[in-house]
Structure 1
Amino acid sequence: MTALAVLGCGYYGFQLQYPAARAGRACSGMLPVGPVLDLVGKSRLSVSGLGFHTSSWRIDVSDDVTEPAGLATRCKVGGAEIAIETATGAHNAYGAYTFQRDPNSFPVPLDGGWQGLMVTKNDASTASVLLSCKNWTPEKGSGILVTADSPYDTEVTAAVRLKLARVVTGTARRAAERTGCETDPGDASGLTAPEADARTVSAGGATGTCAGMTSVSTVRETDVEKSPVEECLLSGGLQLTAAYGPFSDASYAVVNGKYGGHDDPSGVDSSTAWTSVTCQGALGIGYYHASPVEGSDRKFTSDPLTQRERADLTHFAEQSAARHGCGAPAKLPS
């Protein structure tokens, strides 16, 4: 009988090393095991953990936030990396991304009703989902931010992008369930693979993030959903960006001002024209700004925005704010 007990314990201990069991323990047990294993190329039935590594660790958030048990956490599972944290208090939501001020790398929205995005560059993809928690105050974190990277040794095909979208949305849903976050998640069955890049079209033919722009003849845009970051490139002119929640509340903004690093809700300085609005829940501040395209030496102090450029920034901000259920952004100063 004792021998059988020992054998049983040994078998149970062996089971704990299965990829499925190890993935299930990672990131405070908040991962959707099936989609994660699918992303990293392992079967839920696999009994071989050879070469399959997992690790988890806690990450810091703002001292002003008392996060729920299990947050914030980050883990590596079979070559993919995932982070789960509160929306308020995220030190730098852009930490895993390289698309800021890069005209060749755009945030593409997730669909299916998810507040999310994906960026693909240099054969790697990173995805994020932002959930508002109706029962969480800003002091408790306002919501949940999940970020996930594609495996470092995997070609990023459309199939991989869809798998990554399923991982980041599934993780957000499980994290909400485990932390008691009351939220309205998207539809898992409605997800499709995000495009790898933006598209260049005539301004008159734009139907996405650049719809209605008039200051240039050609634009570069993505589709529109409810992405926490949206971009529109006015070719040869301006880069327009909308950012919400932890993406507008970047680490430098906490120090230099709550409106994207500025003290005033709208304004123009030498390199940025901006406006903003206060939104609900984890969306926090909606921050909308225009900067000269990368490589330009234009200064707004000596070469100010034209009337059409001002109208384009205002239109871009108003369209984005309306999509996200926010009010009217502040008017640009005269």
Structure 2
Amino acid sequence: MLPGRFPSRRFGVYNDVQLRSVFTTVTLVAALVGGAIGASPAIAAENPYERGPAPTNSSIEASRGSFAVSETSVSSLSVTGFGGGTIYYPTSTSAGTFGAIAVSPGYTGTQSSISWLGPRIASQGFVVFTIDTITTLDQPDSRASQLLAALDYLTQRSAVRARIDATRLGVMGHSMGGGGTLRAAANRPALQAAIPLTGWHTDKTWGDVRVPTLVVGADGDTIAPVATHSKPFYNSLPSSLDRAYLELRGATHFTPNSSNTTIAKYSISWLKRFIDNDTRYEQFLCPTPSSSLLIAEFRGNCPHSS
């Protein structure tokens, strides 16, 4: 055998030219595999705001998500512009910062009436501030200002401000708090999501809202009937806006004041989709859910824009 040569192919091995070809092929495959492996973090990094495991129907219907939750009270004496409240937040900081939501009660209500939303949403990977208003008789536009003041407090002064991404904020509210939610969205277009729950407002036109909005109404609401409140609210939103309308079946104006799986499921999906830009939750919003024993109607823009 000549120096620098390998036995011929017919003996089950290759000559030097053929071997170089094999080495080239192996190197190329290794590069491709390595590139694919190396691309995984890049793919994951496409959305750095994803928090928690991939969702399932049962995970978003559960009373608690994957994050352990702590809470802290905020005295009305220590804040201005709203009436204090309770902050619910993921205990661990290992996942990074979180989006945040302020939630307002309705007319004559206190934060206790919407407190169930705090730990339920926070356990899915959000900081949630259920607030008291300055007085229980405050009107919707006052509640709007208070929701925004609460968000400013959360991101600038609160004990959990380091846990919050101030670019990813949303608002929710019940009844007049729902009307306040719409006004807050109109006044601060940088918000990422708004969810009025059986909202009440004398203004029925919201064409200036630029915030993705999920309007939740109740078929048995006699205080803010859907025909004169939630449906006109939804219909007046820009047709180009990411928007949805959920009408609860067998529900009343006060259904949002107690734990409700349907409200939680679609609120969490909406907040995840638009505050966290987490398209893993798109499956629960698009195609729009069909009418059922729990849903009288669901309408929306599908598919949502990226």
- Whether TM-score is above 0.5 comes out as no
Q: Determine which structure has more spread, i.e. the larger CA radius of gyration.
A: 2
Q: TM-score normalised to the size of structure 2? A: 0.28
Give the number of the structure whose residues are more often helix, by fraction.
2
Q: TM-score normalised to the size of structure 1? A: 0.26
